[in-house]
Structure 1
Amino acid sequence: MPQLNPNPWFFIMLTSWITLSLIIQPKLLTFVSMNPPSSKTPTTPNTTPWTWPWT
């Protein structure tokens, strides 16, 4: 049963993780967030309860 032989699959997995860690991840981390978090305190909206006409 060839699927139990870990030699080719382990190499493929290791190569893909190294590629992700060393090449793709640093490129993705250089992007600036388009919506940076603000230092404002969140305000709670003033809500009024809905009056249902049938109750």
Structure 2
Amino acid sequence: MPQLNPNPWFFIMLISWITYSMIIQPKLLSFISPNHPSNLIQENPTTTPWTWPWT
């Protein structure tokens, strides 16, 4: 069964993961996110209960 032979496929998988880990991932991680999380305390909005017409 040829699909059980790991000889060519393991090498392809290994090279692709090395390429991803060494080249693509650092380039993606170098981008600066424009939306930094803020440390402000968020206030809970004050809501009024809904008055149902049938009650």
TM class by shorter chain equals 0.7 to 0.9
**Within-5 A mapping of 1:6-25:** 6-25=6-25
Determine the C-alpha separation between the residues in 1 that align with 2:43 and 2:13.
48
* Structure 2 unaligned spans of 5+: none
Return the offset for 1:37.
0.8
Return the offset for 1:52.
1.8
* Structure 1 unaligned spans of 5+: none
Which residue number in structure 1 is paired with residue 39 of structure 2?
39
Question: Which region of structure 1 is more displaced relative to structure 2, 16-25 or 41-50?
Answer: 41-50
Determine the C-alpha separation between the residues in 1 that align with 2:11 and 2:52.
65
Aligned length: 55
Determine the C-alpha separation between the residues in 2 that align with 1:3 and 1:54.
68
Question: Which region of structure 1 is more displaced relative to structure 2, 37-46 or 16-25?
Answer: 37-46
Which residue number in structure 1 is paired with residue 52 of structure 2?
52
- Stretches (4+) displaced over 2 A: none
> Structure 2 length as normaliser, TM-score?
0.88
